[in-house]
Chains A and B, each alone.
Chain A
């Protein structure tokens, strides 16, 4: 097959996938706003979505379900894109915000800020999450980075140990200041069900910045994913790109954690699925990861409403139930490939 043909067939796959994803996303959003503890009719959903909410049910939709759904979409997309970028730059199939300590670092600092300064504004909480995310990630790389064929496993082991350490500290602080333990424990499991419009507004600008940087970098990510030598040979400023990627990852994952807690596995699974469908061209991988991440979290959130209906379960549990077996599969697949 010639290069041009293969490129055009990739565009075809891309367009078809995007269309399917958008359809799934819209279906997910509609399901998410219409299904829940309170039964609503489609007429009420339509009126609420058009901004003409009047009855109690319509208000439930426009003030609770819509922001919750949007938050799930944004958080899912953010974590997935962060994971895709990390996997490209480190060439490590296990790289993702959760496994490399970024989520737990952000969670620690957020919990610390909440218990020490309960009146902190959401924006400063996001900034605190950025600090924590950078700390967690830096710690894992400093302790676990090696430059050989066992690097992926070593980095993942270090990441999990650092996460356990940071999580233990987080739980310790919760015990010391137990004025809102129950809600923090719930948040720690990863939850979008308390999402409000103000959360969505807090999240939006940061996600916008993160996505913008990631799209700008996408071409470079493809080259970097082939290896540092090739990238340097082409004349890429590898270190500078890594720095930008790190910033984007921290902004995306940190802001996601600050509102929704350390939701796991989204950033790990989604890039693998996307690359399986479309290949390693990150100009396609990044936008598709965003779409897939949003879809995954919206549907996971839907499932979480029904695990113990009418009790709301943390969405992080659903992603863990899907993600942990997938993680195992990745570990074992790697073994067979090598």
Chain B
């Protein structure tokens, strides 16, 4: 059997095991033996309530958000040709977080479906600015990452302002400052699901285009790929994935950076494999981080974004250190 098949054989059970652990662990542990009866609709009603109303939507969100952010990271690293690119490093996450928070606070009566749209607007404003910067000024990759961080810092200050002013509840404030899945419900699942359902197949379909872009603009053009148009479409997809994820979970950091790199080490840089493996690793990462945040100190919760930052930031520094040494 091929190496790639083995990777799937290892990753899929890992995802399933983590999903089961995720459903059973929390402030109220649910015995594994109860899981199947509950899912079949014949379980203990107390456990069933917790599982169906809190844990299951949260689990689904963790999978979708993790996968979405990881895919956005792969796309951004591909089109910006920068190993340090990811939705959070280049400021897209904070941009969409700011827009989402503004809608939630200033337009409390707006329908929930509006939040993702606002989040895109925020992410695409940041994306547009960076696009102009990179097009006009031909900045080095590292400087572009730094520019994105500067934009992210500005948006982050905006989020900080709104949260300390308007949110009495620490969990809600930290949701937007750090990224959290606390208190997310089926409503949020339904908000995110259509986006994931449309965008993920689209991006998988475009994996060959992304491979060709990796070869360089001239070769890709020669092979009949409209380079600029493809890049803009890819950027659009990345912005949408980021916006939709951030709209439900806040600005979870480092997933979009770490998952693609881990995937690249495992399967190499062919996008047909890189994309699904990254998405799976991203989902695994967010699920694990959410579970850790929930069980460290019961009944308190550490927001998932804090856990991913504590895992992800050292990895980022390791990447930076390595890229410095290779120069």
Q: Is B302 a contact partner of A320 (Cβ separation < 8 A)?
A: no
- Report Cα–Cα, A167/B225, bound state, in Å: 43
CA distance A153 to B147 in the complex (A): 10
> Which residues A284-338 have CB closer than 8 A to chain B?
307-308, 311, 313-314, 316-317, 320-321, 324-325, 327-328, 331-332, 334-336
Q: Would you give the shortest CB distance from B252 to chain A, in whole angstroms?
A: 11
Query: Which residues of chain A come closer than 8 Å to B307, judged between CB atoms?
Result: 172
Asked if B310 and A165 sit within 8 Å, CB to CB, the answer is: yes
What chain B residues lie within 8 Å of A39 (beta carbons)?
none
* B137 / chain A contacts, CB cutoff of 8 Å: 332, 335-336
> B302, A172: Cβ atoms under 8 Å?
yes
Residues of chain B within 8 A (CB-CB) of A161 are 313, 316-317, 320
Question: Within the complex, which residue of A146, A153, A189, A321 is in contact with B146, where a contact is CB–CB below 8 Å?
Answer: A153
- B7 beta carbon closer than 8 Å to chain A: no
- Asked if A320 meets B153 with Cβ closer than 8 Å, knowing A168-B306, A178-B300, A189-B160, the reply is yes
Q: Which residue on A lies nearest to B129, using beta carbons?
A: A328
Q: Contacts A153-B146, A154-B320, A171-B174: A313 and B161 contacting too (C-beta < 8 A)?
A: yes
- CA of A123 to CA of B137 in the docked complex: distance in angstroms? 48
The answer to whether the Cβ of B305 comes within 8 Å of any Cβ in the partner chain is: yes
Task: List, in ascending order, chain B residues with CB within 8 A of A143's CB.
Answer: 317, 320-321
Q: How far is the CA of A332 from the CA of B133 in the complex (A)?
A: 8
- Is B245 in the interface zone, CB < 8 Å from A? no
**What is the CB-to-nearest-CB distance from B102 to chain A, in angstroms, rounded to a whole number?**
14
Looking at the complex, which of A67-75, A111-119, A179-187, A196-204 is the stretch in contact with chain B?
Answer: A179-187
Nearest B residue to A172 via CB reads B306
> Would you call A182 and B309 a contact (CB within 8 A)?
no
CA distance A327 to B147 in the complex (A): 8
Please classify how large the interface on chain A is, using the bins under 10, 10 to 19, 20 to 34, 35 or more. Answer: 35 or more
A165, B309: Cβ atoms closer than 8 Å: yes
**A156 interface hit (Cβ, 8 Å):** yes
Closest to A139 in B: B317
Q: How far is the CA of A320 from the CA of B142 in the complex (A)?
A: 22
Residue pair A175, B170 in contact (C-beta under 8 Å): yes
Is B327 an interface residue when CB atoms closer than 8 A count as contact?
Answer: yes
B13 interface hit (Cβ, 8 Å): no
| Any B CB within 8 A of the CB of A158 | yes
How many angstroms between the C-alpha atoms of A327 and B154 in the bound complex? 10
List residues of A (249-276) whose CB comes within 8 Å of B's CBs: 264
Contacts of A311 in B (CB 8 A): 165
Asked whether any CB of chain A lies closer than 8 Å to the CB of B69, the reply is no
CB <8 Å contact, B146 and A314: no
Let me know if B190 is at the binding interface, CB within 8 A.
Answer: no
**Residue in A closest to B163 when the chains form the complex, CB atoms:** A185
- Report whether B165 and A316 are in contact in the complex, using a CB–CB cutoff of 8 Å: no
A171:B157 contact, CB within 8 angstroms:
no
Contact of B150 among A144, A175, A188, A324 (CB under 8 A): A324
Residue of A nearest to B157 (CB): A320
Q: Any chain B CB within 8 A of the CB of A162?
A: yes
Residue A133 CB within 8 A of the other chain:
no
Of A94, A162, A320, which is within 8 A of B313 by CB? A162
A5 on the B face (CB < 8 A): no
For the complex, what is the distance from the CA of A158 to the CA of B151, rounded to whole Å?
17
| Given A182-B170, A314-B161, A324-B154; A335-B143 close (CB under 8 Å) | yes
Closest chain-B Cβ to A302's Cβ sits at a distance in Å of: 16
Provide the bound-state CA to CA distance between A181 and B169, in Å: 9
By a CB distance below 8 angstroms, the chain A residues around B302 are: 172, 175-176
Cα separation A308 to B153 with both chains bound (whole Å)? 21
Complex: chain B residue closest to A150, CB-CB = B142
If A143-B320, A158-B320, A185-B163 touch, whether A168 touches B178 (CB-CB below 8 Å) is yes
Taking a contact as CB atoms closer than 8 A, the residue among A144, A168, A332 that contacts B320 in the complex is A144
**Nearest opposing residue in chain B for A94, CB measure:** B146
Distance A172 CA – B306 CA, assembled complex (angstroms):
6
Which A residues are CB-close (under 8 A) to B316? 161
User: What's the minimum C-beta distance from A249 to chain B, rounded to whole angstroms?
Assistant: 21
CA distance A182 to B153 in the complex (A): 21
A148 to B327, CA, bound (A): 10
A26 at the interface (CB under 8 A from B): no
Cβ of B314 within 8 Å of any chain A Cβ, yes or no, is: yes
Alpha-carbon distance A9/B160, docked complex (angstroms): 45
Complex CA gap A28/B280 in Å reads 56
Residue pair A331, B150 in contact (C-beta under 8 Å)? yes
10 closest A-B pairs (Cβ-Cβ)?
A168-B309, A165-B313, A320-B157, A324-B154, A181-B170, A328-B150, A317-B161, A327-B150, A153-B142, A168-B306
CB within 8 Å of A: which residues of B? 84, 133, 137-140, 142-143, 145-147, 149-151, 153-154, 156-158, 160-161, 163-165, 168, 170-171, 173-174, 177-178, 253-254, 297, 300-303, 305-307, 309-310, 313-314, 316-317, 320-321, 324, 327
Q: Give me 6 A-to-B residue pairs in the complex whose CB atoms sit less than 8 angstroms apart, sorted by A's number.
A: A150-B140, A164-B253, A165-B314, A182-B168, A324-B157, A335-B143
What would 19 more interface pairs be, CB under 8 Å, given A168-B253, A175-B303, A176-B302?
A148-B327, A150-B327, A157-B149, A157-B320, A158-B317, A164-B253, A164-B254, A165-B314, A168-B306, A169-B310, A172-B310, A186-B164, A264-B153, A311-B165, A314-B161, A320-B157, A331-B143, A331-B146, A336-B137
